[in-house]
């Protein structure tokens, strides 16, 4: 990891057109945070202070924060990049602001793009290989964000549907009657190299011909993917399942409980080519859910690419319903070998 820079760089100084862009320093933090979260509220400073308090309480790193400043102490647009497990980073971007402060719609887009580009460059300088992928998940209605992410060079990876199913809907079937040659077992301690390698092989197999954000596969190492999956909810080996065909890892179902939200997250489910078209996806998911019901949670949730019709059909048969949509954007960092 490279050292952080306190002296101005090209990323810190912004560009000639639009408002000047710089890294947010201590004296500008409230103004930038208020712009990031306050929107059109009458008291953005109060919103900014509340956001800073929440961020610090949850251990969110506020060092990777950039904003455009049309006048001293006044932030017109802001972007916060939060590094996450698995060498990824999530982007949070300010929305529409009052025209008297932020300018017209075109000026606001210009400033958002400038802030994003400065933030990307700054994080790449600060963290080097520790961040391989930038991610953003605006809602489909947030056209201001979609335009800015596209104009800043991010790739629209896909449109995601977020689904939920209450446990109380009906009892799950916990079948153990698998077709000949198919076995389903709990994944053991991932600190064991053999278990880690087995899960890695299964994941790689599921990426072959996948319909779930296929453009993402080449941008992340499988080790980074595993670390990201482990960070979702409260990781427990007991709820991670491996599907094998004739002894070879060919698929997985990964569940993580969140006791804070009383929800079980389907972090990932995928089958390799040897298991597809056999009706195993719904059976494997029922099997895994049945063994997680003892947790006493309220529901199970997941996200699925809208183009993945086979997976969406499985979830519909099991009683999942859509409650939200997001648009997935990514940008590989300069140090990413898949860039």
Give the separation between CA 138 and CA 161, rounded to whole angstroms.
Answer: 12
pTM for the structure as a whole: 0.90
Place of tokens 């000949």: 180
Tell me the sheet residues that pair with 219. none
Give the separation between CA 322 and CA 339, rounded to whole angstroms.
Answer: 33
Give the separation between CA 230 and CA 224, rounded to whole angstroms.
Answer: 10
Max alpha carbon distance in the chain (Å)? 71
At residue 224, the pLDDT reads 97
At residue 69, the pLDDT reads 95
Q: What is the per-residue burial (b if ≥16 Cβ within 10 Å, else e) of 80-118? A: bbbbeebbbbebbbbbebeeeebbeeebbbbbbbbbbbb
On whether the CB atoms of residues 284 and 241 are closer than 8 A, the answer is yes
- The dihedral built from the CA positions of residue 33, 78, 135 and 268, taken in this order, carries a sign that is positive
Give the separation between CA 331 and CA 85, rounded to whole angstroms.
Answer: 16
The structure tokens listed for 135 are 């991610």
At residue 5, the pLDDT reads 34
What would be the CATH architecture of the domain defined by 10-153? 3-Layer(aba) Sandwich (3.40)
At residue 45, the pLDDT reads 87
Per-residue pLDDT of the chain (339 residues; tens, 9 = 90+): 233 333 333 334 334 368 999 999 888 999 999 999 977 677 888 999 999 999 999 999 999 999 999 999 899 999 999 999 999 999 999 999 999 889 999 999 999 999 999 999 999 999 999 999 999 999 999 999 999 999 999 999 999 999 999 987 665 555 668 999 999 999 999 999 999 999 999 999 999 999 999 999 989 999 999 999 999 888 888 899 999 999 999 999 999 999 888 999 999 999 999 999 999 999 999 999 988 888 889 999 999 999 999 999 999 999 999 999 999 999 999 999 877
Angle between helices 309-317 and 280-292 (to 10 degrees): 50
At residue 25, the pLDDT reads 84
Sheet holding 77-84, edge to edge: 21-23, 65-68, 77-84, 88-93, 133-136, 321-332, 155-166, 299-305, 263-271, 248-258, 240-245, 182-186
User: According to the CATH classification, is domain 162-325 in 1.10.1740.10?
Assistant: no
List, by residue range, all CATH 3.40.630.30 domains of the chain.
Answer: 10-153, 162-325
- Tally the C-alpha atoms within 13 A of residue 317's C-alpha that lie toward its C-beta: 12
């Amino acid at each position: 990891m490279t050292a952080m820079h306190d002296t101005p760089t090209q990323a810190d100084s912004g560009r000639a057109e639009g408002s000047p862009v710089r890294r947010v320093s201590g004296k500008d933090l409230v103004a930038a945070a208020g712009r990031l979260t306050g929107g059109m509220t009458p008291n953005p400073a109060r919103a900014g202070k509340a956001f800073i308090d929440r961020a610090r309480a949850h251990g969110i790193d506020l060092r990777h924060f950039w904003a455009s400043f049309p006048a001293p102490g006044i932030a017109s647009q802001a972007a916060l990049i939060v590094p996450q497990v698995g060498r990824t980073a999530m982007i949070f971007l300010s929305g529409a602001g009052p025209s008297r402060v932020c300018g017209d719609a075109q000026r606001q887009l210009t400033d958002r793009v400038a802030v994003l580009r400065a933030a990307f460059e700054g994080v790449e300088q600060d963290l080097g290989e520790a961040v391989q992928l930038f991610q953003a998940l605006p809602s489909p209605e947030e056209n201001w964000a979609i335009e800015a992410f596209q104009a800043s060079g991010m790739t629209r990876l896909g449109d995601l549907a977020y689904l939920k199913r209450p446990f109380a809907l009906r009892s799950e079937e916990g079948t153990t009657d698998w077709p000949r040659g198919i076995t389903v077992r709990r994944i053991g301690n991932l600190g064991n190299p053999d278990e880690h390698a087995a899960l890695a092989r299964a994941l790689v197999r599921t990426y072959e011909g996948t319909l779930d954000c296929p453009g993402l596969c080449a941008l992340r190492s499988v080790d980074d993917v595993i670390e990201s999956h482990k960070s979702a909810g409260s990781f427990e080996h007991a709820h991670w399942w491996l599907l094998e065909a004739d002894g070879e890892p060919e698929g997985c179902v990964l569940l993580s409980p969140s006791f804070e939200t009383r929800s079980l997250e389907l972090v990932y489910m995928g089958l390799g080519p040897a298991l597809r078209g056999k009706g195993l996806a719904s059976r494997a998911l029922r099997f895994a859910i049945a063994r997680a019901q003892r947790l006493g949670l309220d529901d199970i949730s997941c996200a699925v690419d809208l183009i993945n019709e086979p997976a969406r059909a499985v979830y519909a048969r099991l009683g999942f319903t859509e409650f939200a949509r997001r648009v997935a954007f990514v940008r590989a960092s300069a140090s990413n070998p898949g860039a």
